[in-house]
Homo-oligomer: A and B are copies of this chain.
């Protein structure tokens, strides 16, 4: 009966702004970072989780995660495993901290980090990957772990249970399929906005050689640049490849419509984040005006209530959950359930630091337990920073292989933390001294 004995939260920052990997129309200079949570126990066991940030302000998430995780000290891990719903509600529902959201921004990002560590801990205790832990849960227990608050006008508890129960008898078949075939993916690595045309072409060509049939390109800073860059990408992908474009929130609604229609000649499969992530009504208007180009959004949709509206009003074609912005499995499964109800494919946001590692578990849960289909699904992949994790994602011919190690795959190598801890890790001490 191990107990949680200490909580470490670390500010880890990788200096990605020096390479322009990760550059887009809204975020030209991100240093990919994480508020990294370790739940230590009085045994060997520990739980590891994170939320993803892009530099300044990671310290805010670190401080918030310390506040939020505090009630976990002294908790028995086996008792925690049996009360994932109440634990979630206790951590997310602090009556004073919720004023700072509610359920959005720094406190919700921090809740995601802490709850990701809780799920990692419980899965390690069970010696299973998180996807397997969830796939082994009875539908009643899984629903009890879900946060269905504020959703009942669109998804009742009974409907949630019915969706899960319908697929429960055949979960093993789909697990076997994924074990054979892997989970379909796309790559965003070639298309950062800061890359030259030459680099873009070279990376697209390499991606195609490696088997990628779907590539994402950043757009939105300059229409002339976008056309030139999309022509290059389309050339390298060929007419049948899947070209995805991503504006990272830069447009007004009318401008989004005009700009996307101008780029329609390159047959993009979707336009991602065409405007403010808060603008449900705006996304619906854009979707109606740019079809057959699909609208994808969600990496900045801050909680399940936003997804409820995006889904119920027909504002999107592809639902891009983020495993470090939604508050872990407890809030993600409800979004998967609503997406399944409305027949919208879940195509998670990934990349960053550890997002691929974590969210792959949720795509597997979507297929195995919730939607039962891979139709229209594509999981984002970016080939960077995986070397810092003890169980990095495995990609084979443009598909994710199922993770097999216990936990939520977010554990970092101690050496990486020692090097990139901000501001006192080896890298930053010398980098900051040089400035």
Contacts and interface: CB of A to CB of B under 8 A. Distances in A.
Interface of A: 26-31, 53-57, 59-61, 63-64, 67, 94-109, 149-153, 249, 252-255, 275-282, 285, 300, 302-303, 305-306, 308-309, 312-313
Given A57-B99, A153-B254, 18 more contacts: A27-B96, A56-B96, A57-B97, A59-B63, A63-B63, A100-B106, A102-B249, A102-B276, A103-B278, A104-B278, A104-B302, A150-B279, A152-B252, A153-B253, A153-B282, A278-B309, A279-B305, A280-B309
A54 B96 contact: yes
Given A27-B99, A31-B96, A97-B57, A280 B279 contact: no
Contact of A67 (B31, B56, B313): B56
Contacts of A279: 150, 305, 308-309
Contacts of A105: 100-101, 104-108, 302
B309 A96 contact: no
Contacts of A59: 63
B150 A252 contact: yes
- Output the residue of A67, A150, A300 with the most chain B CB within 10 A: A150
A153 B281 CA distance: 10
Copy total for this chain = 2
B281 A53 contact: no
Closest 10 pairs between A and B when the two form their complex, measured CB to CB:
A105-B105, A106-B106, A55-B96, A153-B253, A56-B96, A278-B305, A150-B276, A152-B252, A57-B97, A54-B99
10 contacts: A31-B96, A57-B99, A57-B100, A60-B64, A104-B104, A104-B278, A105-B107, A105-B108, A278-B309, A281-B308
Nearest to A17: B96
Interface of A is mostly: loop
A26 B106 contact: no
Contact of A99 (B28, B53, B94, B97): B53
A94 B254 CA distance: 25
A121 to B, nearest CB: 24
B278 A60 contact: no
Contact of A57 (B27, B28, B64, B306): B64
A112 to B, nearest CB: 12
A279 B27 CA distance: 28
- Centre residue among A27, A30, A100, A312 by max chain B CB count within 10 A: A100
A255 B313 CA distance: 21
Contacts of A303: 278
A61 B302 CA distance: 19
Contacts of A276: 102, 150, 305
Nearest to A110: B60
Nearest to A94: B56
Contacts of A26: 95, 98
A301 to B, nearest CB: 10
